[in-house]
Chain A
Amino acid sequence: NAGVTQTPKFQVLKTGQSMTLQCAQDMNHNSMYWYRQDPGMGLRLIYYSASEGTTDKGEVPNGYNVSRLNKREFSLRLESAAPSQTSVYFCASSEVAGALTDTQYFGPGTRLTVL
């Protein structure tokens, strides 16, 4: 039982390049999330998917797109990377997003640098 896995662990991009961050969970969770973590700002929600087939914007969606490929996988795409997107990206999953005691479980993160 691996929990939440993310690939790649590290990535360096040049401004304007595109890339997709992959996330998968094996806990049969319905909901998945993408966050970015920046120094002194905590974690901010980029996009989330409450259930398979649905996606919604979070706090900082500009410059990103997501795909909920199936129940297990949720990818984050940067179409044209900018230095402001240098960050650590975390994927998370939870059983039922709207449940009162719903707990989110996090992956190990992807450290992205945009030059």
Chain B
Amino acid sequence: KAGVTQTPRYLIKTRGQQVTLSCSPISGHRSVSWYQQTPGQGLQFLFEYFSETQRNKGNFPGRFSGRQFSNSRSEMNVSTLELGDSALYLCASSLEPAGTGELFFGEGSRLTVL
């Protein structure tokens, strides 16, 4: 059974640019949640999608957005990149909503903003 796949694994952008990250969940999982991990703040919840609907959003500015497609694949977008957006972005899939279902994480997309 294939795991959670995130692409790209590494990317470098400059301030002001935008970036789109992709997450393919485990087959049959309807929940995809996104997280930002930095050395200073640790893991922080960005948002969760369940059956194409955003269920929850963390305390991040509107520059962070996402969507989920009918095949459960999800994308997140960050516009007008800032230096502080440099982080490891992780997605996780689960059968149930993220708070109550076992989470399966991808390897992450490491974003560096110069």
Partners in one complex: no
**Interface of B toward A, CB cutoff 8 Å:** none
